[in-house]
Structure 1
Amino acid sequence: MNRRKLIINACLVATSGIAALSSKMAASATSSPGVALIDRLVEGINSRELSKLDQIYAAGSAYSNHQVLVGAPSSIPAREEFKSYLAQRIKAFPDITLSYDVAFASDDMVAVNLIWRGTHKGDYLGIAATSKKVTWNSTDLFRIKNGLFSDHWGAVDLYGLERQLRS
């Protein structure tokens, strides 16, 4: 599968809620090094051991986060900036858990629909704690080089999260 098809499939997952993969895609996705990195990401966040991300994301300029939510370009290395962002999310949702329902992998790319769950106990994106239990997702695309994530593009369902927090 080429990158274009992978991106199209990731978009289809995000917009149409595909419930099942073809057996060929499912077999390649579950045995993929990219999906193994996703599993390690989930483990690192669920255990609150953000230092585990150092074994998943490339260091220094070898990693680029293209997701606007994490922040504007800065002098802080992207991996450290991402870990700081996740620490803020964990502070706001101390019981946060991460899982995923769909992952596509091909060559040096992996696309995944991540599912975040937690109780809003601290300020997040300008919204004071509500103590509401919420669930939201993000659709993420990662490039892999030398066995680590080297690039990330993501889209977080902030609209759905904000609706839950403000309702």
Structure 2
Amino acid sequence: MEQALIARRGILALPIALAVTSPALAASTRTARDLLRAFLDTLSAHDLKAFRALYVDDGYVQHQTLVMNTPSATSGPDAAVAYFRRRIEAFPDLKVTSDVSVVDGDMISANLIWSGTHAGEYLGVPATGRHVTFNSTDIMKVRDGLFSEHWGAADLYGLVNQLKA
């Protein structure tokens, strides 16, 4: 009974495994769960071109104020790509996984686990060479197999404490 309820609600009870070599699905046939997997795969592979293709071209709304965003002409999904580009530059071996996620219709909620070695300046902290792990909690809305909105919170306090330890 409990497993049937979990399956019906779309709750992922096991960690998401990366499948970088699997072919990407066309946006029109991609489910919200497929989109989350593609998010994890493309970021872990540092494939920002494929990562950008996961977002709607127009109307993307970022509800979270990103710490590293600076005023510029870049907005929407291109701002998200620029944000993650800076994270990958600071942590060149960055991997992202999820230990739990919930998909309900066009909404995804996930706890993301980020890990990597601090090899470049990040959040004002010069490279330390330390390996860190931190998490973020993210809610994403899907439209036509692509991300259209995002809300989230990352444990940047915990990350900075690891970098300065």
Fold in common (TM above 0.5): yes
Could you report, residue by residue, the CA deviation over 1:11-69 in whole angstroms, capped at 9, with x for unpaired residues? xxxxxxxxxxx522345245x92221110011101111111123311113x21111111
One-letter amino acid of the counterpart of residue 6, structure 2 = M
One-letter amino acid of the counterpart of residue 52, structure 1 = A
One-letter amino acid of the counterpart of residue 85, structure 1 = Y
> Which residue of 1 is the match for residue 57 of structure 2?
59
Q: Is the 8 A contact 1:29 1:35 kept in 2?
A: no
Could you report, residue by residue, the CA deviation over 1:98-135 in whole angstroms, capped at 9, with x for unpaired residues? 10000001111010000000000100010011100000
The alpha-carbon distance between structure 1 residues 126 and 26, as it changes in their structure 2 partners (threshold 3 A), is: farther
Root mean square deviation, CA, Å: 1.8
Partners of 1:148 and 1:127 in 2: how far apart? 33
> Which segment is superposed worse, 93-102 or 63-72?
63-72
Higher helix fraction (1 or 2): 1
One-letter amino acid of the counterpart of residue 94, structure 2 = I
Q: Counterpart of 2:89 in 1: which secondary structure?
A: helix
Structure 2 residue 118 is the aligned partner of structure 1 residue 120: yes
Structure 2 residue 130 is the aligned partner of structure 1 residue 132: yes
Partners of 1:86 and 1:139 in 2: how far apart? 15
Structure 2 unaligned blocks of 5 or more:
13-29
Q: Is the 8 A contact 1:100 1:112 kept in 2?
A: yes
Query: How many residues end up aligned between the 2 structures?
Result: 144
Partners of 1:73 and 1:155 in 2: how far apart? 20
The alpha-carbon distance between structure 1 residues 72 and 122, as it changes in their structure 2 partners (threshold 3 A), is: closer
2:31 to 33, 54, 70: 33
Structure 2 residue 142 is the aligned partner of structure 1 residue 161: no
The alpha-carbon distance between structure 1 residues 116 and 83, as it changes in their structure 2 partners (threshold 3 A), is: same
Partners of 1:46 and 1:145 in 2: how far apart? 23
> Which residue of 2 is the match for residue 8 of structure 1?
none
| Percent of pairs with identical residues | 38
Find runs of 4+ consecutive structure 1 residues off by over 6 angstroms.
Answer: none
